[in-house]
Structure 1
Amino acid sequence: MIFVGEYNDLKVDRKVDFGYYLTDEDGNDVLLPNASIKERDIKLGEEIEVFIYRDSKDRPIATLKKPLIKVGEVSYLKIVGESSFGAFADIGLDRDIFIPLKEQKFKCLVGKSYLLYAYIDKTGRLAATTYVDNYMEIGEGFKVGDEVEVITYGKGGEKTIRVAIDGKYQGIVLGNEHYNDIYPGEKFKARIKKIYEDGVVGVSTRRKRLEERDVLKEQILDYLEKHDGFMVYNDKTSPEIIKETFNTSKNYFKMTLGGLMKEGKIEQSLEGTRLKK
């Protein structure tokens, strides 16, 4: 049997003007077009590994090219087109993979990349879904403090973000471990904060405490210098305004202001905060 969306080991049966026909043990055949052969020397009777997909006329077709994804895999793919029925992602072949609307947990935007899982739909075509959570693996060997690369693929609550560590392992970013809005498909560096009993890895976009305070200190001083040495914000300012303005928590903001006061660089009043001359 010839399997669409997978690699198949098939025998070169006969040559035609437009390519070669390959067969399986049951006599089923599929065309390997000349366009996908390139410079390889194909011999009659030899067994070769090919990837099978469906062409624009919905016929099974073989290729020697290596696609970016196959059935049962999760891969980070770029959206290159859309229609009223769904979106299309580039997989490195002549035909893109289709993501039906019902398989989009969020809208797939052209030009953006997302984690997608490949499957065969009811019509026998290769398709993909953004519902990848069940296909993420439990990672092993991670340690608290490790820096990792993650890709966002959904939400685990109102503020909790689900991410794939190294594109394949289950991870989450709790609401208090990120300040910026994080959207599906974003790829970024994060630090391992905790490893839960079920193996899910908790990561944070925040720096280590001392590093974060140093960065915030520079942000506050820079802000003051750009606003004639004064700002209306102080340790009484609401957490929402602090987050919106300085992208940090009120607790960190208050501690950093306290540190700057001890250093003699600022002074606070009911009106706000001022640089000391």
Structure 2
Amino acid sequence: MIELGNYNELTILRSTSVGLFLGDDDVDDLLLPAKYEPEDFEIGDKIEVFCYLDHEERPIATTLKPFIKRNSFAYLRVAEVNEIGAFMDWGLEKHLLVPYREQRNKMVAGTWEVVYCYLDEKSFRLVASSRLSKFLNNESVDFRVNEEVSLLVYRRSELGWDVVVNNLHRGLIFHSDVFQKIQVGDALQGFVKQIRPDKKLDIVLKPIGLKALEPAADQIFQALQEQGGFLKLNDSSSPEEIRSLLSMSKKTFKKAVGTLYKDKKITLEDDGIHLVVKTS
């Protein structure tokens, strides 16, 4: 069964002047236009293609890689807006429709939006929505604290940054836990800080606790090497100075520095941190 809005592995059944006709056990007339034909192929070969509806609402195949697929989220550019709705550039010839009813805020051509792509059951068309909350479900969250997750930043609020977690759940990065520049549309890796009783997810961008120490110590060590063996930071440096230079909290910085000092990799002087140069 061919799945619209997704990648399908199909068999090349026949070659014509307009392109290759592909199929599986249920379909035997899906067109892959000639401009997308592979250079070398034989009848009977398997080929992976993306399937969607063309301008005449007919199923069609392409070897192009769209920026989003069915049942997923992505940050896309609004290509145009008309009386029907907004149309997103998703990397294919036919733009992806966001009906007005599916726009959280009225979209404007040339701007970028995080949207969710799905198959509309009534029209049997692939459409997108910026009303993301209804596609995020935290009922089934099953994470461990400090578990690494994939993130897509989709909104800034008074509390912090709302993120899509593992393409399924909603999470929040509190402003107090952000030590680097982030913005809507960023695809990041993060870590589960806390799972609240109501299944809400608190997310951080760096591992917490003991797990965070080794990466932070290594980051400072690498920065020392890159800066000629010296960093103008010490225990009295402000959190803002540390965040600006190393993108970490002062608490993490102090623990990591302590680790490097105990390992005799650095010395601590009034002017800052010095890398220990080993002599043979």
8 Å CA contact 1:149, 1:188 repeated in 2: yes
Q: CA deviation at 1:183?
A: 2.7
CA shift at 1:218, angstroms? 2.4
Tell me the CA shift for residue 65 of structure 1.
6.4
Unaligned runs of 5+ in 2: 6-17, 30-50, 63-67
Map 1:1-277 onto structure 2 (within 5 A).
40-41=27-28, 55=55, 61-63=57-59, 68-69=69-70, 75-77=72-74, 79=76, 82-83=79-80, 87-90=87-90, 95-99=94-98, 103=103, 114-116=114-116, 128-145=128-145, 146-155=147-156, 157-158=157-158, 160-277=160-277
Letter of the aligned partner of 1:193 in structure 2?
K
Distance in 2 separating the partners of 1:79 and 1:255? 40
Distance 1:231 1:54 in 2: 58
Indicate conservation of the 8 Å contact 2:52/2:60, yes or no: no
- Find the residue that maps to 1:203 and give its secondary structure: strand
Query: For residues 65 and 213 of structure 1, do their structure 2 counterparts lie closer, same or farther at Cα, with a shift above 3 Å needed?
Result: same
Q: State the one-letter code of the partner of 2:273.
A: T
Please give the per-residue CA displacement for 1:156-215, whole angstroms capped at 9, x wherever unaligned: x34522122221222222234442233333333332221112222222221243332222
Higher mean C-alpha displacement, 189-198 vs 260-269 = 260-269
* Alpha carbons 1:77, 1:89 under 8 Å: kept: no
User: Counterpart of 1:248 in 2: which secondary structure?
Assistant: coil
Distance change in 2, residues 1:178/1:142 (3 Å): farther
Provide the secondary structure at the position in 1 that maps to 2:153: strand
Q: Distance in 2 between matches of 1:180 and 1:206?
A: 10
- CA RMSD after TM alignment: 4.3
Does the aligned pair in 2 maintain the 1:177–1:206 contact within 8 Å? no
**TM-score normalised according to structure 1 size:** 0.61
CA distance in 2, matches of 1:127, 1:205: 31
Q: Runs in 1 of length 4+ with deviation above 6 angstroms?
A: 34-37, 51-54, 64-67, 106-110
Q: TM-score, normalised by structure 2?
A: 0.61
Q: Which blocks of at least 5 consecutive residues in structure 1 are unaligned?
A: 7-33, 43-50
- 1:138 is matched by which residue type in structure 2? N
Please say if residues 75 and 185 of structure 2, whose CA atoms lie closer than 8 Å, have aligned partners that are also in contact. Answer: no
**Residues paired across the two proteins, number:** 224
| Identity, % of aligned positions | 18
Is contact 1:266–1:273 with CA below 8 Å preserved after alignment? yes
Larger CA Rg, structure 1 vs 2: 1
